[in-house]
A and B are shown apart, each in its own frame.
Chain A
Amino acid sequence: MFSRCRKRNRVCDSCSCSVDVKTPNERSGFDNCISSLALQFVTLAILFCTAGLSYSAERELRVCADPNNLPFSNQRGEGFENRIADLIAREFGAKTHYTWWAQRRGFVRNTLGQGLCDLIIGVPAGYDPVLTTRPYYRSTYVFVSRRDRALALTSLDDPRLAKLKIGVHLIGDDGANAPPAHALSRRGIITNVTGYPIYGDYTEPNPPARLIDAVANGAIDVALAWGPLAGYFSPREPVPLELAAISPAADPPGLRFSFAISMGVRKQDVPLRDELNRLLDRRRQQMQKILEEFGVPRVAETVP
């Protein structure tokens, strides 16, 4: 019913998206209150839809985002993806509306897939569950170490890696892992590698940042982390850290360390994708400025 309504009437759009404002930290009482409120909205929306009423409302940019994952996004709007969403909203003359959901397995399915929102600000280019725009940045996995250690690591083939205490993000089983973790195990580097579950403890702010904290507090000698995360948290640690892109840039078969990042919309939402592509062309400089401000390490297209 909603999907049919949605196409006809923007009013329903905004109503249906309030149904699922689910924040991972929300406690049940609060959640219930939200739901019942939302239910009233929905009922209202159904009434409007079925009655075929229409009136023009301000356009809404409905964004699916993680409420607790800087530097990308958080509920306070402090991430670079929040800033990019604001930029898009301004361009579209729209108001930003978020559906908050932890960006984990099922994120796309439970947000974009349920029609609760229309846009994910960051996904890998060509990411299969969604339709992606042109990439707007490309970053790389990096070595992160304390400056006072003067390790100057740049290569995965550095023999010192056999001895150093290394930290990587752990994704999950089923053959999935961060590329540097795969690359290390290929080289037989296993027993000195500590995994930091990317999910972490969701009651803490920005759970994936624990990996960078571990470098700063000396729990590990070096982290192999995704660039945007490392670029944002390193300068915020109490001791100076240094970053270096992982080389070689690829580790065949199948492994690469740099990824182009696009925006994602529903597979069939070609008009929105095209609109976003035009905006990316138009506002390229502003986008780059935001990424610059957040310390996102960017690399040129080097990998086939």
Chain B
Amino acid sequence: MIHLEFSSNLQLCALKRLFVSINFLFLLASTVSAAMPPSSGNKVSEDGQWVRAAKDFASTRFSSLDQITAKNIKQLKLAWSFSTGTDRGLEAAPLVVGATMYIVMPYPNIVYALDLSKPGASVKWRYEPKPAAAAQGVACCDVVNRGAAYADGKIIINTLDVHTIALDAATGKEIWKTKLGEINKGETITMAPLIVKNKVLVGNSGGEMGVRGWLTALDLTTGKIAWRAYSTGPDKDVLIGANFKPFYKMDQEKDLGVQSWPPEAWKIGGGTVWGWISYDPELDLIYYGTGNPGPWNSEQRPGDNKWTSAIFARNPDTGQAAWAYQFSPHDEHDYDAVNENILLDLPIKGQTRKVLVRPERNGYVYVMDRMTGEVLSATSFVHVSTSKGVDLKSGRLIYNELTKPQLGKVVRGICPASPGGKDWQPSAYSPRTGILYIPHQNLCMDIESMEANYIAGTPFVGANARIYAGPGGYRGEFTAWDPVNARRLWSIKEKFPVWSGALATSGDVVFYGTMDRWFKALDARTGELLWQFEVDSGIIGQPVTYRGPDGKQYVAILAGIGGWAGAIVSAGLDARDASAALGTANAMKDLPQHTKKGGTLYVFALP
């Protein structure tokens, strides 16, 4: 490709100004290029910033910055670092707006603004939301935060104790603070907000606690709640109205959020919204998924349990649903459907389609028509034993009855295990390679004997999940996926689940981190490991790249072990307790030998 030669020539260029202007020329070229699969929703030219967790509305996590290339990456060096002083999982993407970087920490959710124009990036301001201490006790897994969002001079953050806060990006002064839920009822927030037009979109966490899931839109200027769409309940609560046109017959009846549950069970049915939201400005639709149903066992909630483990397309101004689709109806395996939705325009069977690509927790990469909600293909990217595929006529996932968890029965070889083929960790897509880069895990589980457990003075019994490495014996993988032909191109096997996000760049290098403390860069086309850096604590964060005030391209990553998979280190779980952290501890028992708690922001650049 032309650009590859271009960037290698650029390496020889010593003049920064020239560098930038050629870069700019290339950008112009790239936006008009017809050969590339355009990623709709974000056709603005590269501004070198990173203003939302997913980089663009289409959630590609692709940057057109191209100083760092396969040819020069061996010289990539640590430019500066910042100790966060935290010891819980760091899942957030750093934001870069102008000459300032913003990072938000896990509970107690401290925000730092770092001045990139100063050597070593000094702290410009620091904000402490002081969330209620009780939030720790009710958060399901780890007290993570997946990042902030920027628009209109404001940094927007969510806190574990269910508040959304707008800060003046320049000063860190609180502009508004809105309480969205009740921590004492088990609600928390861990997701990164998305700002669309004048709306801040926020969803809740806590599906294990008898919480009813919702997505809420707040007015960016005032913080007032504009609308709230529940994931369960009557159509009026779900914001299903006259414009609702789901593709499949199974989704077309009235009040399915009530009808597909035993009486009242929808009121505590889960379907929380703790993952990713995308936006297509042309169709004016937002896309997001919902968490697993709960807190009942599957046999105690007969029915499809709509709209849990599902996706919604909605109008961002009104919240009204355009369509919905359930990935895992009547979920039995904790397959939340909160993963990222990557909006692309791809040639499918000779025709350019507006699609939504989604590597789903149930083990399939879905390619959907994002105008209608039709599933164009669903292809497994990990070993799947819990289902046999998706019936494209009815849209239904075809479950495998043999791996159905049943009380008092040992069920072995449930793949993927409950963290899924992949969890929250977001993929990246490069329009230059046409490849989707999927960080994920390779875990299976057995459901074993029931043991007495204890909550609030009450003994109860539950199936013990024992999670272990899937076929091949490794636990994590970084997969390059061709979404057009629905096939794996190559993959890198990792010892532990790849719990970090991915980053793709115009330099044709992709980045990700591992729980055993390596920050890695691969050749975007071949997967060849080009560069790696050993950090202090395991990586479960989201790498980003930006152009610094000095015109140089930087790559940043927060490193700090934790999250569900890392809880064995960050929460000090007993590795001998196989079912701790919902069964993850068994799968991760050797992790403490590879990483310790910690928190550091690392920023890299060429010399």
Contacts and interface: CB of A to CB of B under 8 A. Distances in A.
A31 B452 contact: no
A16 to B, nearest CB: 15
Nearest to A29: B130
B121 interface: no
Given A195-B268, A201-B182, A255-B461, A129 B137 contact: no
B270 interface: yes
B454 A114 contact: no
B45 interface: no
A192 B285 CA distance: 39
A39 interface: no
Given A22-B137, A26-B132, A170-B295, A254 B461 contact: yes
B555 interface: no
Contacts of A31: 132-133
Given A109-B572, A194-B264, A255-B408, A176 B453 contact: yes
Nearest to B583: A174
Interface in A103-144: 103-107, 109-110, 113-114, 122-124, 126-129
A122 B457 contact: yes
Interface string B335-347: 0000000000000
B267 to A, nearest CB: 9
Contacts of B447: 175
Interface string A12-43: 00000000001111111101100000000000
Given A170-B268, A175-B465, A191 B262 contact: yes
B582 interface: yes
Contacts of B574: 109, 113, 129, 267
Contacts of A297: none
A27 to B, nearest CB: 6
Contacts of A191: 262-263
A92 interface: no
A170 B458 CA distance: 11
B458 A197 contact: no
Contact of A173 (B294, B302, B451): B294
A181 B459 CA distance: 12
Interface stretch (A46-54, A153-161, A182-190): A182-190
Interface in B284-314: 292-297, 299-300, 302
Contacts of B268: 170, 195, 197
Given A173-B207, A173-B294, A173-B295, A114 B452 contact: no
A174 B460 contact: no
Nearest to B418: A174
Contact of A69 (B210, B299, B408, B457): B457
A169 interface: yes
B467 to A, nearest CB: 12
Among A24, A71, A110, A114, max chain B CB count under 10 A is at: A24
Given A190-B302, A253-B409, A173 B297 contact: yes
Among A28, A69, A110, max chain B CB count under 10 A is at: A28
Among A23, A201, A202, max chain B CB count under 10 A is at: A202
B423 interface: no
Interface string B482-522: 00000000000000000000000000000000000000000
A104 B461 CA distance: 14
A244 interface: no
B369 interface: no
B580 interface: yes
A199 B210 contact: yes
Contacts of A123: 454
B382 interface: no
Contact of A177 (B137, B296, B449, B456): B296
B457 A66 contact: yes
Contacts of A259: 452, 459
Interface in B84-119: none
A229 B138 contact: no
B532 interface: no
B465 A102 contact: no
Given A195-B296, A252-B408, A207 B264 contact: no
Interface in A237-292: 252-256, 259, 261, 267
A172 interface: yes
Nearest to A102: B137
Given A104-B456, A195-B296, A201 B572 contact: no
Interface in A212-234: 226, 228-229
A22 B295 contact: no
A181 B450 CA distance: 14
A254 B461 CA distance: 9
A126 B453 CA distance: 10
A111 B232 CA distance: 35
Contact of A254 (B407, B457, B582): B407
Interface in A62-113: 66, 69, 71-72, 101-107, 109-110, 113
Contacts of B208: 105, 172-174
A267 B447 CA distance: 25
A50 B574 CA distance: 28
Given A177-B296, A185-B297, A267-B574, 12 more contacts: A25-B184, A28-B133, A102-B138, A105-B140, A122-B454, A170-B296, A172-B210, A173-B293, A175-B405, A175-B465, A190-B299, A226-B457
Which 9 pairs of residues, A with B, have the shortest CB-CB distance?
Answer: A176-B462, A197-B210, A254-B408, A175-B463, A253-B408, A173-B294, A28-B130, A202-B184, A24-B134
Interface of A: 22-29, 31-32, 66, 69, 71-72, 101-107, 109-110, 113-114, 122-124, 126-129, 169-179, 181-182, 184-186, 190-195, 197-203, 207-208, 226, 228-229, 252-256, 259, 261, 267
7 contacts: A109-B574, A170-B296, A175-B462, A182-B461, A195-B268, A199-B186, A254-B461
